[in-house]
């Protein structure tokens, strides 16, 4: 072969090799970074709580983040060293259990025993992801309890949490279909002509019999159960407009025919009949009583990571873990608490305020974290005092001004609890959004490392102390905070 021909072949070989190398790298990057749409999430049901875990699409295969999966079930401490991923999971009242994987490899260890994944472990943005199909087995090994994954439906059941429903058709006039549940449920209900759809997002409802039950009834045609996208649905179809009513404290939902629309010209209603204790007439539904709800707002989320506490530890993750601890500690004290976000989603500041005000909580707590300073800072809004009535219309930009006294009392109570636990703390005013827009007593808590060691900010012991202080502070001041009618 002539020399020029050999050189030409050599050049082509090198070019082709390099092209293949870059193509492989680009394909791999594209595959890992292709984010699934927002609906792609796993719903996890455990005896303690229900929560959502966003799924990552890697080359067409769903992956779940280990921290997001395990954090609501206990304390989690995850570290990355190069491509090695090590996670310590401590179940409540248990001892730390170790999970080890290596990015790009399918072999790892769970509780010291070798474990082979069906596909490679993925490290992305400082987080470790495992294929969805192994989530139930990993949780089973860590918790020692059974876990069942409904993979196609994106639902994971831990322990015996599954709740079944019963169907009972009463052929009255009109017919009534009674859906019975073992515990109270609160599905979202959508109606359209000849159809009622009940959507269960938080309840671990599963089918106990055939998923499609037809009826030969003049009103109710059938019931169809389905589960998908991390939720369950009961679809009741009929021959006329249907409506759903709750009964038995939410344990029963009655589906029946919707009343015909009233005629345009209505006669005056008859005067109310005198009360007859021997034959009580149906009473109108009593309005719901006041309730005490604390709304916890873990700051940031999604693309907004907040402060970079360390290169691999964003503020959004620290505060979400702390928020779950605060919620748990409040529940231990008999106080109902909700989270504005329970997964890694982005919420704008205006949305946070709007959703909070719509929920009418008795107290709003925003949680933040920083890698500067030391200890815990408790903030109330920096607003001039204003003579506003909490019951009246409030200006959006200064809604918090009507609650400054109560907010200050809560901040003082939380600070006292921090002090009693010997945690460095300070109470300050802050120009922090969206506090000014909150129409309820409101505080913000920012945690910094306890003694200058930044890694300590994510330690379970430190966060638990802070969470206990916040919950104890709220419990101590509860009597002074007005309950709110939902």
Partner 1 sequence: MTRRVLLMFAVLALIALGLTFYALHLKRKVARDEQLAAEQQRALAPLTNGPPTPVTLYIASDSDGTLRRTRVNVTLPPERTERARAVLRALFGEYLQSSSPHPIGAGADVRDVYLLGDDTAVVDTNAAFGDAHPSGVLAEELTVASIVVTLNANDSKIARVKILINGQERETLAGHADLRRFYEASNIGQVVKDLQ
Interface with partner 1 (CB under 8 A): 6, 10, 13-14, 17-18, 21, 299-300, 304, 306-308, 315, 349, 368, 370-374, 377, 379, 382-384, 397, 426-433, 436, 444, 446, 448
Nearer to partner 1, 41 or 380 (CB): 380
Residues 252 and 254: their CA atoms lie apart, in Å, by 6
Closest by Cα among 445, 471, 441 to 330? 471
CB of 373 to partner 1, least distance (A): 5
Least distance CB 466 / partner 1 (angstroms): 15
- In this complex, which beta carbon is closest to partner 1, that of residue 158 or of residue 383? 383
Examine residue 174 and say whether the peptide bond preceding it is cis (omega within 30 degrees of 0): yes
Exposed, middle or buried by CB within 10 Å (0-12, 13-18, 19+), for 288? exposed
Minimum CB separation of residue 368 from partner 1 in Å reads: 5
| Nearer to partner 1 (CB atom), residue 21 or residue 240 | 21
Min. distance of Cβ 169 from partner 1 in angstroms?
55
The sheet with strand 107-110 has its strands ordered as 75-81, 84-90, 97-102, 107-110, 113-116
State both tokens at 4.
């020029």
Q: Which is nearer to partner 1, 455 or 483 (CB)?
A: 455
> Closest CB to partner 1 among 224 and 374?
374
Distance in angstroms (rounded) separating the CA atoms of residues 458 and 463: 7
By beta-carbon proximity to partner 1, the closer residue of 158 and 381 is 381
Of residues 304 and 456, the one with the C-beta less far from partner 1:
304
Decide: residue 177, CB within 10 A, 0-12 exposed, 13-18 middle, 19+ buried.
Answer: buried
C-beta separation of 247 from 253 below 8 A:
yes
Cβ partners under 8 Å of residue 121, min gap 6: 85, 101, 102, 103, 104, 105, 106, 108, 128, 129, 130
> Are residues 414 and 443 in contact, defined by beta-carbon separation less than 8 angstroms?
yes
- Please report how close the Cβ of residue 366 comes to partner 1 at its closest, in angstroms: 9
Cβ at position 306, least distance to partner 1 in Å: 6
Kindly tell me which of 18 and 243 has the beta carbon lying closer to partner 1: 18
> How long is the chain?
486
Contact (Cβ atoms closer than 8 angstroms) between residue 331 and residue 468: no
Burial class (CB in 10 A: 0-12, 13-18, 19+), 195: middle
CB of 428 to partner 1, least distance (A): 5
CB of 414 vs partner 1, minimal distance in Å = 15
Residue among 173 and 303 whose Cβ is closer to partner 1: 303
Q: How far apart, in Å, do the first and last CA atoms of the chain sit?
A: 88
Q: How far is the CB of 437 from partner 1 (least distance, A)?
A: 10
Q: What is the DSSP string of 344-396?
A: S----HHHHHHHHHHH--SEEEEEEE-SSSSSEEEEEE--------TTS---G
* Residue-wise burial string across 73-94, b where 16 or more C-beta atoms lie within 10 A, e elsewhere: bbbbebebeeeebbbbbbbeee
Helix axes 315-332, 460-477, angle to 10 degrees: 50
Q: Which is nearer to partner 1, 6 or 291 (CB)?
A: 6
Residue 346 beta carbon to partner 1: minimum distance, rounded to whole angstroms: 12
Nearer to partner 1, 74 or 306 (CB): 306
Closest separation in Å from C-beta 54 to partner 1: 21
| Sign of the CA dihedral running 445, 448, 450, 454 | positive
Output the CA–CA distances (angstroms, integers) from residue 366 to 137, 269, 369, 435, 443, in the order listed.
35, 50, 10, 8, 6
């Amino acid at each position: 072969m002539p020399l020029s021909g050999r050189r030409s072949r050599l050049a082509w070989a090198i070019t082709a090799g390099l092209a293949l190398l870059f193509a492989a790298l680009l394909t791999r990057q594209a595959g890992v970074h292709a984010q699934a749409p927002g609906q792609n999430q796993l719903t996890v049901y455990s005896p303690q709580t229900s929560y959502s875990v966003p799924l990552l699409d890697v080359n067409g295969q769903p992956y779940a983040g280990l921290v997001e999966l395990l954090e609501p079930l206990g304390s989690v401490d995850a570290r990355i060293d190069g491509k090695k991923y090590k996670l310590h999971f401590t179940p409540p009242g248990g001892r730390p259990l170790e999970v080890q994987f290596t990015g790009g490899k399918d072999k790892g260890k769970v509780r010291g025993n070798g474990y082979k994944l069906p596909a490679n472990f993925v490290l992305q943005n400082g987080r470790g992801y495992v294929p969805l199909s192994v989530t139930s087995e990993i949780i089973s090994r860590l918790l020692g309890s059974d876990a069942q994954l409904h993979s196609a439906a994106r639902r994971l059941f831990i322990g015996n949490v599954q709740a079944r429903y019963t169907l009972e058709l009463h052929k009255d006039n009109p017919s009534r279909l009674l859906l019975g549940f073992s515990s109270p449920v609160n599905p979202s209900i959508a109606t359209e002509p000849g159809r009622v759809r009940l959507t269960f997002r938080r309840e671990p409802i599963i089918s106990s019999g055939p998923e499609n039950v037809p009826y030969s009834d003049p009103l109710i045609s059938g019931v169809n159960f389905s589960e998908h996208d991390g939720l369950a649905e009961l679809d009741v179809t009929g021959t006329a407009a249907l409506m759903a009513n709750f009964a038995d404290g939410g344990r029963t939902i009655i589906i029946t025919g919707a009343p015909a629309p009233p005629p345009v010209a209505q006669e005056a209603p008859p005067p109310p009949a005198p009360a007859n204790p021997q034959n009580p007439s149906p009473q109108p539904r009593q309005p719901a009583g006041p309730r005490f709800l604390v709304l916890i707002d873990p700051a940031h989320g999604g693309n907004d990571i907040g402060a970079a506490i360390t290169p691999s530890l964003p503020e959004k993750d620290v505060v979400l873990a702390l928020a779950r601890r605060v919620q748990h500690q409040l529940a231990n004290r008999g106080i109902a608490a909700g989270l504005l976000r329970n997964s890694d989603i982005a919420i704008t500041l205006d949305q946070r305020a709007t959703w909070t005000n719509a929920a009418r909580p008795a107290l709003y707590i925003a949680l933040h974290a920083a890698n500067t300073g030391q200890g815990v800072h408790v903030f109330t809004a920096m607003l001039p005092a204003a003579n506003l009535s909490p019951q009246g219309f409030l200006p959006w930009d200064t809604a918090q001004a009507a609650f400054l006294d109560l907010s200050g009392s809560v901040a003082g109570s939380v600070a006292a609890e921090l002090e009693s636990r010997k945690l460095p703390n300070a109470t300050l005013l802050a120009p922090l959004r969206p506090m000014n827009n909150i129409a309820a007593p409101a505080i913000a808590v920012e945690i910094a490392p306890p003694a200058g060691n930044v890694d300590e900010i994510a330690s379970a012991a430190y966060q638990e102390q802070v969470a206990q202080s916040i919950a104890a502070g709220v419990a101590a001041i509860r009597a002074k905070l007005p309950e709110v009618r939902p």
